[in-house]
Amino acid sequence: EVLVGTLPPEIGNLRKVKNLDFDLNNLEGSIPTEIGRLTLVTALRLWKNDIEGTLPTQLGRLKDMLVLDISFNELEGTIPSEIGNMQQLTSLSLNHNSRLSGTVPEEVGELDSIRAAFFGGTSLTGGLDDLVFCKNRDMENFQLTADCKEGANPKVDCECCTSCCINGDECRAP
């Protein structure tokens, strides 16, 4: 069975939860701002749902977050700079949110803990090469994917990407 409905504001009352995994459900609506009260959460996975709206700035309160995967949804707006407060974050997956726009905030780019970041299939623009986590490129298992292949619209500049895509598809090594 799959979960159907929205994430209620009361989710913020689950103060002792460390892992929220709602992958492959039929959740819709936006991520409630109350999610920022879950300060013990180390993983939030909402992959392949129908989550819409903007990413709440309150996500930045989740300083112990290791994995944030909200890929394959309907997010819009920009990536909040507050995600840069997640100093332990190793994996950031925002790919396939076609209305997610703007640039990757400098504060997020300064997360030197990032080992995997997925931005393909979005409307992000600008360059990724100045991001601090690009220095991890030589590390084993480092992954950075974006729409940096010729023909992508919009196209991201990314010499440090390990895989370049066209609108999140046809991804290949640059």
**Measured between alpha carbons, how far is 31 from 130 in angstroms, rounded to an integer?**
29
CB 124 within 8 A of CB 156: yes
Residues 146-157 have pLDDT tens digits of 999 888 888 899
Whether the per-residue pLDDT at 93 is higher than 90: the answer is: yes
Average pLDDT over residues 2-25: 96
**Measured between alpha carbons, how far is 34 from 14 in angstroms, rounded to an integer?**
10
User: With bands split at pLDDT 50, 70 and 90, how would you rate the model's confidence at 7?
Assistant: very high
The chain-wide mean pLDDT, for the chain, equals 94
CB 94 within 8 A of CB 121: no
Whether the per-residue pLDDT at 139 is higher than 80: the answer is: no
**Measured between alpha carbons, how far is 31 from 37 in angstroms, rounded to an integer?**
13
Residues 119-137 have pLDDT tens digits of 999 999 999 988 888 887 7
Distances (CA, A) of 137 to 31, 85, 115: 31, 22, 8
Cβ neighbours of residue 116 closer than 8 Å, sequence gap 6 or more: 90, 91, 92, 93, 141, 142, 143, 144
pLDDT of residue 101: 96
Q: Half-sphere exposure of 67 toward its Cβ, with a 13 Å CA cutoff?
A: 12
User: With bands split at pLDDT 50, 70 and 90, how would you rate the model's confidence at 1?
Assistant: confident
pLDDT of residue 127: 92
Q: Which letter does DSSP use for residue 25 in this model? A: S
